[in-house]
Amino acid sequence: MAVGIDLKDVSKTYETSKSTPILALTNTDLTLRPGEFFSLVGPSGCGKSTLLNMIAGLLPTSTGDIHIGSDKIVKPQRSTGIVFQHATLLRWLTVLENVLLPSKIAGTLDSKTRALAEQYLELVGLGHTKHRYPPELSGGMQQRAAIVRSLVSNPGVLLMDEPFSALDEFTRETLQDELMRLWTDQPKTVVFVTHNIAEAVYLSDRVGIMSARPGKLEAVVDIPLDRPRLPELRSQSHFYEIVGDIRRQIDPGNSK
Ligand code: ADP
């Protein structure tokens, strides 16, 4: 079941042994409704991954609190799925074994989970690869498997850190559409970090715009596009107007 995320006064300062502390994220308030698709965009170093890793419970906050539903986040949650830029599959396990591994470790692997894993692998075009090993697959196929792995336990929250940035444009767009299908099939709250403004607009209900030095959430923009979002949207003028508006907010000097 999708759950909301609430950040109150969250900041992060990295203490370093060599230099002065680095303020990576200034005090941030943000509330995401259950089932919302929210993206974070902004230049490198503006604190996107820092924010995501704090929501994941992988990194402690310096100030403030994060709640997912009623749970205060102090450590990683089983009900939160995470997808990173690189697929991190174990090369000595098959695709299906990789996808089922978290449930196996959690002791929740049953026939329902297995059936869901097989259904999702089919849905993302990997049905025929389930008994193959990761090194035999392309980067895009491995990332599809990593996304399926994050979804089979039906997490209420899915955190994605530039999951498609290492892929070519065609594969990236295909995976965006597959992610939309999976998210529609199994609604959940998604926080999606990307450098790609068009990707954020295509996928999201709202987009958070961040700036660097120090990292700051500058604005949150509603994306006024109907769903389902279909591939032809990418070549429509109102889509490009929204992308242009956000680009100008990130870089006010860019009037194009
Ligand atoms: P983004 O994901 O937007 O590229 P990050 O969250 O990775 O930004 O980084 C934000 C800032 O924090 C950057 O200045 C980065 O150099 C710094 N930073 C990130 N991780 C660490 C760390 N472990 N130790 C010290 N500084 C860090």
Separation between Cα atoms, residue 29 and residue 204, nearest integer Å: 19
Percent of the chain with pLDDT over 70: 98
Separation between Cα atoms, residue 198 and residue 240, nearest integer Å: 8
3-state secondary structure of 244: helix
Q: Could you tell me the pLDDT band of residue 253, with boundaries at 50, 70 and 90?
A: low
3-state secondary structure of 210: strand
Q: Could you tell me the pLDDT band of residue 167, with boundaries at 50, 70 and 90?
A: confident
- Going from the Cα of 191 to the center of ligand 1, the distance in angstroms, rounded, reads 18
* Number of CB atoms found within 10 A of residue 155's CB: 22
Which DSSP state fits 73? -
Out of 14, 195, 210, mutate this one to test ligand 1's pocket (max ligand atoms within 8 Å of CB): namely 14
Separation between Cα atoms, residue 53 and residue 55, nearest integer Å: 5
Residues contacting residue 209 through CB under 8 Å, at least 6 positions apart: 41, 42, 217, 218, 219, 220, 221, 246, 249, 250
- Going from the Cα of 133 to the center of ligand 1, the distance in angstroms, rounded, reads 33
Q: Stretch 210-238: mean pLDDT, rounded? A: 95
CATH 1.20.58.60 fits 32-59+73-79+157-256, yes or no: no
**Looking at the predicted structure, is the pLDDT value of residue 2 above 60?**
yes
**Looking at the predicted structure, is the pLDDT value of residue 254 above 60?**
no
- Could you identify the atom of ligand 1 that is nearest to the CA of residue 42? 3
Separation between Cα atoms, residue 24 and residue 181, nearest integer Å: 34
Least confident of 99-103, 184-188, 196-200: 184-188
**Looking at the predicted structure, is the pLDDT value of residue 252 above 80?**
no
How is the chain split into domains, by residue range? Answer: 32-59+73-79+157-256, 89-154
Q: What is the pTM of this model?
A: 0.93
Out of 11, 20, 22, 161, mutate this one to test ligand 1's pocket (max ligand atoms within 8 Å of CB): namely 22
To which H or E segment does residue 72 belong?
Answer: strand 71-72
Q: Could you tell me the pLDDT band of residue 223, with boundaries at 50, 70 and 90?
A: very high
Q: Which of 58-67, 105-114, 169-178 has the highest mean pLDDT?
A: 58-67
Dihedral sign, Cα of residue 63, residue 64, residue 69, residue 72: positive
